[in-house]
Structures are given as C-alpha cells and as structure tokens.
Structure 1
Amino acid sequence: MVLQILSTQPNPTITWEALPADFVLPDDPVENIQQPTLAAALTDALGAAGLIRPDMLIGSNFGLVATINRKIAVKAPDWFYVPHVHPIAEGIIRRSYTPHLEGDPVAVVMEFLSDEDGGELSVRSTPPYGKIYYYEQILQVPTYVTYDPYTPSLEVRCLQEGRYQIQTADEHGRVWIPELQLFLGMWTGERLQQTTTWLRWWNAAGELLLWSAEQAEQERQRAEQEHQRAEMLAARLLDLGVDPAQLT
C-alpha cells in the first residue's frame, strides 16, 4: 500500500538552518504515561546490546527542525535515531536537531498513536504539517514506524520512490528495520512492574535483544547456578572423604 499525498500546493523550499537561541520549542505533554516507557525500553535494549555509539543521536520528544518556505517547522517524535551527528561544544546542551546542518539525516522515526484524530497519520501539506507529510516529504526519513498501544498494532513504512509504503511483517510479526539491521516487533510481558505490549528488537538471527534488567537477572541466575554446582561438587567430595578446602 502506497500512501498518496494529493496537494495543489507548490513544492516547498526547504533549508537547514540553525535554530535561533530564543526560539520557543513546543512543550506538549505526552498523551499517556506509557509513551515515555515505550521509548525508554527501545533505547535501553540497544544500549544493553552495545549498539549505541557516542556519535549517534537517539531521543524521544525531541525537536526535529526544518525551515520550510522561510518558516521554522518542528516535530518532536516519540522516538528517533540518527546514525551520526557532529559533536557539540563542551557544556552546551543539544535542545533540538537540524538534519544536514548538525549531522546525518534522521534515519528512523517512531510515533505512538494517540487519541488525537489522525495526528500521527496526517498527510496535511500546509502548516501545521501532518506528521506523515513532514517525515516523508520534508525530512525524508527512510523508515517511519507507528505503533498503536491501545490495539495493539504496529505499522512500518519505508520510503520508496519518494513515498511511504507499508512493509509486510514476517511469520513472527516482526519487520526488518534496515537502518538498524534489526527486526522490530511486539512482545507482551513485564518491565519495571508494568505488564503491557512492548516494542522490542531482534537481531538478524532472531535473537531477542535483552533489556539491561533482563541481562542483570540472567547474570544473577548464571552466578547462582555456578554456586549451586560448586556446593554440589563439594558435597560429593565430602561423601568420598575428600576435604574440598585441601584442593584449593
């Protein structure tokens, strides 16, 4: 399915300019408490797998900036990924990101669907720009993910010949994200004492990328198993009349 954006508007003039220091970025509240935890879980798994480099930019509810027809436009997606950004001066806090000017184009954007009518799926080509239009035609983000936590359902759109096309999931319900070389899919379970359906990553071999807490628990269980083996061995040696302490 290819989303067709029909517009009588002339092609916009897009430039990549530094955001003025006094520009007031949007500070809209998130739609529900689940959105930040969904985004944090995605980033946590990448970090736990050692897949985040210092020159990457991964964020959520963070302004992505373009200048369209000499007017600044900003969208703050729920989660996004940029492969490489230019370093900033020490002591400076990055408050937004302008592609091309500050580093690579944005590679992946995710939006978690809200109760707002068509916000994340809007193709509006005039201000305020719809999100599909902004990511597809302005930023030209290669992969746009929308996730409805209420259903739940996942859609992945990839840019093909200038238009987004919805990708087909594999037999496991996962979709390949080429920019990250990972599969993305849904997983129901508990994290931070919250049971819901999460978005999770799998590698090319189909192995789930663990969250940091899962890795820590896995290490704890492994250490406990080693301790139990050691105690069993010591008990067997004692049964044989051998003092384990004399073997060390």
Structure 2
Amino acid sequence: MVLQIPATPATKSEPSVTWTGLPADYILPDDPVENIQQPVLAAALTDALGAAKFIQPQILIGSNFGLVATVNKKIVVKAPDWFYVPQVQPVEEGVIRCSYTPNLEGKPIAVVMEFLSETEYGELSVRSTPPYGKLYFYEQILKVPTYVTYDPYELSIEVRRLQDGRYKLESANEKGYFWIPELELFLGIWPGERLGQNINWLRWWDKSGNLLLWSSEQAEQEKQRAEQEKQRAEKLAAKLRDLGIDPDSL
C-alpha cells in the first residue's frame, strides 16, 4: 500500500526556530513503543553498522530518543524510531546524553526513520500547528535531508529526500533497495531470523551490493572459518603422519 499524503499546507508565517538546550528540570516524554518489532528493528540497524566499524565516537545514532527544537519559543521534542547524526560534540565525562539539540550540540540530523503503526499514520502527519506532525517537524523544523518510513504490515519502504524545502519520494533500484547518501549505503527489506525472531528486517548493503552482517552473523562466520582451519590442519597432520613425519616436530 502506498500512502498518498497532501503537500505540506502553507502557513501564514514561517515558524521561528531556535536551538536551545533543555532546562535541567525538563521532563522528557516517556511514551511506550507501539509494537515489539520497533526496538529490535532499530537495534539491528545499529548493530550492523557497529559490526562494520562504521560507528565512530563523533557519530550519534539513537532510537526512541528525543530530538529537540524550540519553535515559536516553545520546546518541541520528537523521538523517532531511529536516527543518525554524522558529528556531535562530546559530552562531559560522567554525563549521559538524554536528548539531542541539533546545531547546539553538533551537526543537524542527517537521517530519520519511523516505523509505521497499524492503527494510525502519525509518522506522515503534516500538521503544521502544535503538537506538529512528524513529517512536518522533520521537513520544516529540523530539515532532515532523508526521511525513511517503513510499513512492516505492508512490507514497504518510502524514502523522502529534501528538495527545495519539501520532501520528494525517491525510487528504489532494481533490487528494491534505496540509496541513503548520508551513510553511503543501500537500505532494504530482508526476511530472516535474528535473536530468535523471524521477521522482515531493515538491512544495509554497501555500494557493491554486499550485505552488512550483524555482529552475531560475523561471530558465526568467524566460528565457521576457525573450524574449517582446524579441519584443514588436522587433515594436513594426518597426511604427514602417513608419510612418517611427526607434525609436532615441525
């Protein structure tokens, strides 16, 4: 199912956006996730990047984590299912980052993903007044270059790229994958099992079409490689013994 959404409605005046840190006593929203798949989908995306050694100390990747902007002097916080920032300022030792304000704490957010719920499509809302629709917030307030929505019920991905201040839908390649330029990776759907869950995952592929493995897959691959090396060594030792040579003496 492809959702047709109206263009972002024109407003009488552009919103005034500033970047101010949250007050120390500000209580962040603690809304529950909408289904059990959302956290594991986000975790798998991050795990593959970590296993590929893509994640560096200056990078910020988060899930269900508050992104902050002050719009018309009022604090607005949205917590996407997954996001990526290429460079952030380090926090002081012992301090735990609880939210992220772009431009104040580092670079703007480069990629945001939302996983659609079955009962509503707030992820595509263009509401331009408080509490602001997510699509409007990412497009007009945060101005995120790439906005991805994944519908796990219809098994479809939509990728929107910011062009001339508005989101435009991108097209997938012949394999159904979408190029995410900020990460220089392809994104697509992959059915399979991870941590005992057999579902349709979002996964990364590199420029050459190679799947980025999860850490568990890398560990299994290394285990198989070590076992193969052991078997080769045992065969070689057996041949040497057949020739009357003690392999332990070599």
1:179 equivalent among 177, 182, 197: 182
Superposed CA offset, 1:59-101 (max 9, x none): 0000001111111111000000001111111111111111101
SS in 2 for 1:120: helix
Aligned to 1:52: 55
Q: Give the 5 Å matches for 1:33-182.
A: 33-182=36-185
**Is the contact between residue 118 and residue 153 of structure 2 (CA under 8 Å) also seen in structure 1?**
no
What letter is aligned with 1:51? Answer: F
SS in 1 for 2:31: coil
Q: Give the 5 Å matches for 1:15-26.
A: 15-26=18-29
What letter is aligned with 1:44? Answer: D
**Is the contact between residue 112 and residue 144 of structure 2 (CA under 8 Å) also seen in structure 1?**
yes
**Aligned Cα RMSD in Å?**
1.3
Please report how far the alpha carbon of residue 12 of structure 1 lies from its aligned counterpart in structure 2 after TM superposition.
0.8
Please report how far the alpha carbon of residue 208 of structure 1 lies from its aligned counterpart in structure 2 after TM superposition.
0.7
Please report how far the alpha carbon of residue 219 of structure 1 lies from its aligned counterpart in structure 2 after TM superposition.
0.4
What letter is aligned with 2:98? Answer: R
* Unaligned 5+ runs, structure 1: none
**Is the contact between residue 5 and residue 124 of structure 2 (CA under 8 Å) also seen in structure 1?**
no
Whether 1:230 and 2:228 are equivalent positions in the alignment is: no
Please report how far the alpha carbon of residue 245 of structure 1 lies from its aligned counterpart in structure 2 after TM superposition.
1.9
- Indicate how the Cα distance of structure 1 residues 216 and 233 shifts in structure 2: closer, same or farther if over 3 A, else same: same
Larger displacement relative to structure 2 (213-222 or 112-121): 112-121
What letter is aligned with 2:136? Answer: Y
* Unaligned 5+ runs, structure 2: none
Structure 2 CA distance, aligned partners of 1:181 and 1:174? Answer: 13
Structure 2 CA distance, aligned partners of 1:179 and 1:109? Answer: 11
SS in 1 for 2:123: coil
Structure 2 CA distance, aligned partners of 1:9 and 1:91? Answer: 45
The alignment's TM-score, normalised by the length of structure 2, stands at 0.96
**Is the contact between residue 66 and residue 98 of structure 2 (CA under 8 Å) also seen in structure 1?**
yes
Structure 2 CA distance, aligned partners of 1:209 and 1:111? Answer: 21
Please report how far the alpha carbon of residue 243 of structure 1 lies from its aligned counterpart in structure 2 after TM superposition.
2.0
Please report how far the alpha carbon of residue 3 of structure 1 lies from its aligned counterpart in structure 2 after TM superposition.
5.8
Superposed CA offset, 1:214-238 (max 9, x none): 1110000000000001111111222
SS in 2 for 1:186: strand
Q: Give the 5 Å matches for 1:207-246.
A: 207-246=210-249
SS in 1 for 2:55: coil
Aligned residue pair count: 247
Please report how far the alpha carbon of residue 246 of structure 1 lies from its aligned counterpart in structure 2 after TM superposition.
2.3
Please report how far the alpha carbon of residue 7 of structure 1 lies from its aligned counterpart in structure 2 after TM superposition.
2.9
The alignment's TM-score, normalised by the length of structure 1, stands at 0.96
What letter is aligned with 1:31? Answer: E
Please report how far the alpha carbon of residue 116 of structure 1 lies from its aligned counterpart in structure 2 after TM superposition.
3.9
**Is the contact between residue 11 and residue 128 of structure 2 (CA under 8 Å) also seen in structure 1?**
no
The percent identity for this pair of structures is 70
**Is the contact between residue 51 and residue 213 of structure 2 (CA under 8 Å) also seen in structure 1?**
yes
Structure 2 CA distance, aligned partners of 1:69 and 1:246? Answer: 80
